[in-house]
Amino acid sequence: MARRKKHGRCFAAVLLTIGAPAWERAKADDRPVTRVATIPIPSASIFIAVDGSAERLVGMHPLSRSAIEEGVLGRMFPSARVINSSIAAGGADGFMPNVETLAMLDPDVVVQWGDRGDDIVAPLRNAGMHTALMRYGTEQFARDSLTLMGEIAGKPDKARRLIAWREAVATEIAAKAAAMPDKRRLKVVYLQRASTGLVVAGANTYSDYYIRLVGGVNAAAELSGALAINAEQLAQWAPDVILLNGFEEQLTPRRIYDDPLLSGAKAAMERRVYKMPIGGYRWDPPSHENPLAWMWLAQLLYPDLFRYDLRKEIEESYQIVYGYRPSLSDIDSVLRLSVNGDARGYDRFTAVAPTPGHAP
Amino acid sequence: MSLLSAITSEARAGRSTLPRWAGALGVAGLFTAAALTALCVGRFQIMPEKAMAILLSRIAPVTPDWSAMDERIVLLVRAPRVVLASLCGAGLAMSGAALQGVFRNPLVAPQILGVSPGAAFGGALAILAGASGYALIGAACAMGVAALAMVGALARVDGRSDAIMLVLTGIVVGALFTALVSLVQFLADPNSSLPAIVFWLMGSFSAATWTRVFVAAPAVLAGMALVWLMRFRINVLSLGEEEARALGLAVDRDRWLVFAATALIEGATVSVAGVIGWVGLVVPHAARMLVGSDQRLLLPTAAALGASYLLFVDSLARAATAAEIPLGVITAVIGAPIFAALLRKTRRKEIRA
């Protein structure tokens, strides 16, 4: 049964950087938030992380649920697996709210994309629902999203803590990476899609941000945004490392190793093709687990410079964020040892007994 | 239909003043130049002489002075792309020329029989289901043939299917499959399969491999051979249904043989390269302006021009920018203005006449 905490406080409006109201709940309406619905795919996982519970989430996007089921969040919060996931349907990319289903669920607030036009927000507003708008794609927006979820959950301290964690990890990594000579910097390509055709993340993408953060060079930076390329172009860039997205469930490094052309690329010859991990949410796009992703990538690229005990970091941060102590197999699953296990340098992530530790 | 009739008659009247051998040499030269250029240009820098030497090394002893990656790029990326683009371009243009003859209508394209929306639906469904390779090709081909079978069954009234009924049924079936493609897009995962489906629907040879060539080639070549064998009958069919019947032609049977051949070509093309519009509509016009409407000359000319055109477009698609430009975008951007200019020119002549 849903645990419903009373939060007898009035929420102040949180303004996005563009000045639009992110959180449109009327100030006079100070009923506690007990029922939340989230439409942006990562927002369900982010809300659960900030709230530390899945009890107040009453609706989510179907792809949020598949991410929860695919990763460890479903194991941490089994009740998240049965949350209604039929609240969004239709529209060019599937984020048009199903207002009648939402009305049935009677949420106190619906989280929606704030940067994909008003067409997907207006139906919620017209139905008299409170909306919280979330923007996505940059580190600043990721932090804003945590702040927003903290406001909705009534747990701004938790959100601030998660933001401080990001800040600390990013600052530490950036400082070490900045001191690195240019000739040491490895060329990295993030394949946002690889199962059918190849799509890379160029400049102005979140992947570009963390590749540069850890001291790498985004080989696809001459492009802006996510764009389709051909194998010849990938060979021309000759990346040292290829990162495979965590979205295409069936995609594994074998896609590159078995390709007649790409198997001859430097990254494949040196077995430096890695599938991005998936924890409480996928590690490649912006979410609350990004600091772990940065540590993972930093250590993969420059193991002599970044010496994290990543398994321990996962174990400790999960206890703080989710109140859940992951098992050895949970951590193996997060790091996708089954598909990345034989890649170069990946043995540093294999079985080290988890121990209790410090807070993130 | 006066405008359409005028275009047709103009095309019939427009014969080249060049001797046949010169025309044949010209289009063959154009195709060879297009193929060699396509083999030499690309994002991966390989000098043209090196690319040629790599190709030559497969049939003659040449001392290799290139890297393994150079060889892979030429033999595994560009060569299959060149062959596949040539096959598809030739097949689509030949289909367009044949269908325009059969329907006596220059605005007919291979898409008119609903085969490409059908094949597009099959392919999109396969991507949605996570299939790739043979499964994708098989699904696209199967649905293309299914669409044609539907058109055949629905257009047949009292044991006959006339041209108007066929075109209208083709439009209906095409619309149905287009709607089903939209449904698949609606159901697709916006993170993974949706972009894959959208890019595939816009047409691309970026996934060309020798396997795809060997899968598509038999179907395309068989379709082209069948169209070629039908060249005399298409000439007779282009005189009109009544005339063709009066000359003793089994109009229905012959028409369906041409449809089956074009469906084979279209289905195979869509399955390996996605939907590539405009080639089957525009290229036959250019070919007709060069050699006239006699299918014996028109078909090979259209095939050579179609292959050259698609090679040019594909070279542009893969080499112009680091990002791969969808073929359907380029063929439409080039094809639409050319077609509009052609229509205006014809209309002007009609008014002056």
- Minimal-distance CA residue of chain B relative to A232: B44
- Interchain CB contact of B212 with A (< 8 Å): no
Instruction: Write the CB contacts of B35 (distance below 8 Å, at least 6 apart in sequence).
Output: B82, B86, B307, B311
pTM reported for the whole predicted model: 0.81
Averaged pLDDT score across all residues of chain A: 87
Q: Report CB contact under 8 Å: B207, A264.
A: no
Does residue A15 surpass a pLDDT of 50? no
What are the residues facing A134 on neighbouring strands?
A113
Q: What is the pLDDT of residue A195?
A: 82
Which residues of B fall within a CB distance of 8 Å from A247?
Answer: 189, 191-192
C-alpha–C-alpha distance, residues A47 and B182, integer Å: 32
Q: Report CB contact under 8 Å: B318, A230.
A: yes
Given a cut of 50, the residues of chain B with pLDDT beneath it are: 1-15
Burial of B1 (0-12, 13-18, 19+ CB in 10 A): exposed
Does residue A329 surpass a pLDDT of 90? yes
Q: What is the ipTM of this complex?
A: 0.75
Q: How far is A46 from chain B (nearest CA, A)?
A: 18
Q: What is the pLDDT of residue A352?
A: 56
Which residues of A fall within a CB distance of 8 Å from B67?
Answer: none
Q: β-strands A109-113, A198-201: how paired?
A: unpaired
- Interchain CB contact of B183 with A (< 8 Å): no
Q: What is the pLDDT of residue B24?
A: 80
Instruction: Write the CB contacts of A169 (distance below 8 Å, at least 6 apart in sequence).
Output: A291, A294, A295
Cβ atoms of A151 and A54 within 8 Å: the answer is no
DSSP H stretches of helix in B14-133: 20-40, 48-56, 68-72, 79-103, 115-128
Q: What is the pLDDT of residue B290?
A: 87
What region, left, alpha or beta, does residue A225 occupy, with left being phi > 0 and alpha being psi -120 to 50 degrees? left
Q: Report CB contact under 8 Å: B186, A94.
A: yes
* Model pLDDT for residues A63-114, shown as the tens digit of each residue: 898 889 888 999 999 999 999 998 986 554 678 898 989 999 999 999 999 8
Q: How far is A195 from chain B (nearest CA, A)?
A: 8
Token digits for A287? 């979410």
Cβ atoms of A248 and A195 within 8 Å: the answer is yes
What are the residues facing A109 on neighbouring strands?
A36
B47-86 burial, b if ≥16 CB within 10 A, otherwise e? eeebbbbbbebeeeeeeeebeebbbbbbbbbbbbbbbbbb
Q: What is the mean pLDDT of residues A232-243?
A: 95
Q: What is the pLDDT of residue B275?
A: 87
A11 pLDDT band, cuts 50/70/90, is very low
* Model pLDDT for residues A253-309, shown as the tens digit of each residue: 999 999 888 998 999 999 999 999 999 999 999 999 999 999 999 999 999 999 999
Q: How many residues does chain B have?
A: 353
Q: How far is A41 from chain B (nearest CA, A)?
A: 9
**Closest to B44 (Cβ–Cβ): which among A94, A235, A250?**
A235
Instruction: Report the alpha-carbon angle B202-B91-B147, nearest 5.
Output: 65
Q: What is the mean pLDDT of residues A198-213?
A: 96
Does residue A200 surpass a pLDDT of 50? yes
**Distance between alpha carbon A329 and the CA centroid of its chain, in Å?**
21
B297-320 burial, b if ≥16 CB within 10 A, otherwise e? bbbbbbbbbbbbbbbbbbbbbbbe
Q: Report CB contact under 8 Å: A230, B136.
A: no
Q: What is the pLDDT of residue A289?
A: 96
A160-193 burial, b if ≥16 CB within 10 A, otherwise e? ebbbebbeebbebbbeebeebeeeebbbbbbbbb
